[in-house]
Amino acid sequence: MQGQARLATGRTKEGTTSFGRSHTLDLLRGLAIAGVMAIHVSQSFPSHIGAVDFAFMCGWTGVNVFYFVSAMTMCLMWTQRTETNPARKFYIRRFLRIAPLFWLAIPVYLLVNGTGPSANAPNGIGPLQVILTATFLHGFWPDSVNSVVPGDWSIAAEMTFYLVFPLLITAFGARRHLYLALAIVLHLVNVCLFKPWAFALFSAYYGSGNEAFVWTTLHISFLNQLPVFLVGCALFFSLRDGFTKSDAAVFAVFIAVSFIADRATGSHEFNYLMINLVLGALVAGCIRLEIRWRPLETLGRNSYSMYLSHFAVICGLSQIWPLADGPVSLLIAYAVTAALSYFVARATWHLVERHAQDLAHRLTSARADRSIIRPTLAATAAGLR
C-alpha cells in the first residue's frame, strides 16, 4: 500500500500529462477495435482494390494499440488506488473483467466452427486445446492459439501480462528505464534464443508443411508481445513525469540492438518492433493532446465484447451476404459488422459484464476488507484467551 502511495505522487511540472479518467484511452480502444474489425471484414469481403484492401489490412495494428492502452491503464489504476492487498484485488478485477465473456465465447465458437483440423489446429481441437483455452494458458501451446476462440492469442497475452504486472510495478515502480531495459533483454532472448529453438522444436513436432503455422504462432507468442506492454508502462510514467533525453537514448539503444540481432538471426522481428514503437509514439501523442471523439469513445468502452463477438458476426454475414465483392460491399459489410457487434456488446454488458463488475466491486470493496479482518481479529483474540 505504501508503494502505491509513493507511485501515486506524480510530478506536475510543465511537459507532463495529468492522468485522470482518460477519455483518450477510450478513444484509443475505439480506434483499436475499429482496426481489428477492418482487417477481419476485409478478409471475408475484399474490395479487390489493392490500396483499399491494404488500408483495411493495416487494421492488425489495432491489437498492438490495445496492448499499449492496457499497459497504461493498468499503471493508471495501480497508481491511483491506495488500498490493502492491492495485488489480490487487481487479480480479482482483471479476472472478472475478462473470464466471464471469454468462457461464454468458448462453447459458442466450438459450435460455430467445430473441432476439425484447421489452419490454427492442424490436428483438430481436443480436450487439451479447450482446457488450455479455458485456463488462459493457450498462448503457450501452438495449436491452442486461435483454435478454440478466434483471435484469442491477444487474450492470452493480456491475461499473462496481468499475471506478472503486480510483480513488475512493485519491483520497478515509476523507474521507466527498468521497464525499457527488461523489454530490451526479453526481445533479445526471444530473437536470439527462444524463437530459433522453439521453431525447430515445434516444426519437428507438427511435421513438414506446418512451418508457416509454427512461425506465425511464435510471432504472436507472449514473449514477443511482452516488450510492447513494457514499453507501454514506460510511456505511462514518461507522460506522467515528463520525457527526458535519457528516454530517447534508451529507445535508440533498443532500435540498434534489435537491428543487429535481426540481421544476425533472421528473426524478422525488427520491423515489428519499429511498427510498435511508432504506434507507441502515436498513442502517447494522442494522450498528450487529449484527443476526444465520442463515437470512438463509445466503441472503446464496449471494445472487449465487440472483439469477441465480431468474428461470429462476420461468419454469419458471410453465409447470407447478397452483394458481390467490391468496395461498396466491403464498406457496407464493415458498417453492419460494427453495428451488430456493438449491439451484441450492449446485450452482453447487461446480461454478463455488469454482474461480473458488481461482483468484483463487492469482493474488493473496503467492506469486504473489514469482513475479512473481523474473523481474523476474532481468531487472534480467541488464541490470546
In single-letter form, the type of residue at position 9 comes to T
pLDDT above 50 for 232:
yes
Q: Which range among 41-45, 273-277, 357-361, 381-385 shows the weakest confidence by mean pLDDT?
A: 381-385
Q: How many CB atoms lie within 10 A of CB 307?
A: 26
Q: Is the pTM of this model over 0.85?
A: yes
- Tens of pLDDT along 34-44? 999 999 999 99
- Taking only the tens place, the pLDDT of each residue in 104-132 is 999 999 999 999 999 999 999 999 999 99
pLDDT tens digits, 127-181:
999 999 999 999 999 999 999 999 999 999 999 999 999 999 999 999 999 999 9
Residue 383 has pLDDT above 90, yes or no: no
Reported confidence tier of residue 83, pLDDT bands at 50, 70, 90: confident
Long-range contacts of 343-347 (CB under 8 A, 24+ apart): 344/305, 344/306, 344/309, 344/313, 345/302, 345/304, 345/305, 345/306, 345/309, 346/302
* Cβ-contact 31, 65 below 8 angstroms: yes
Cα angle at 294 between 289 and 295, to 5 degrees? 120
For the cut 90, the answer to whether the pLDDT of residue 5 exceeds it is: no
CA distance 118 to 107: 17
Chain mean pLDDT for the chain: 91
Quick one: what percent of the chain has pLDDT higher than 70? 89
Question: What's the pLDDT score for residue 217?
Answer: 95
Candidate from 8-12, 22-26, 69-73 with smallest mean pLDDT: 8-12
Is the pLDDT at 57 greater than 70? The verdict is yes
Report how far residue 24's alpha carbon sits from residue 22's, in angstroms, rounded to the nearest whole number. 5
pLDDT band at 268 (very low <50, low <70, confident <90, very high): confident
Q: How confident is the model at residue 369 (pLDDT cuts 50, 70, 90)?
A: low
Q: Domain-by-domain residue ranges, the chain? A: 23-363
Check pLDDT > 70 for residue 11: no
Please check the confidence at residue 337 and state whether its pLDDT lies above 70: yes
Report phi then psi at 16, rounded to 5: -100, 165
Chain Cα centroid distance, residue 322 = 34
- What pLDDT is stored for residue 7 in this prediction? 61
pLDDT band (50, 70, 90) for residue 81: confident
Residue 266's pLDDT is 84
Cα→Cα distances 219→55, 66, 88, 153, 194, Å: 22, 17, 31, 11, 11
Q: For residue 373, what pLDDT is reported?
A: 44
Give the side-chain half-sphere CA count within 13 A for 322: 0
pLDDT for the residue numbered 377 = 40
Q: Are 33 and 65 in contact (CB under 8 A)?
A: no
The three cell numbers of residue 248 are 530517447
Mean pLDDT of 212-239: 96
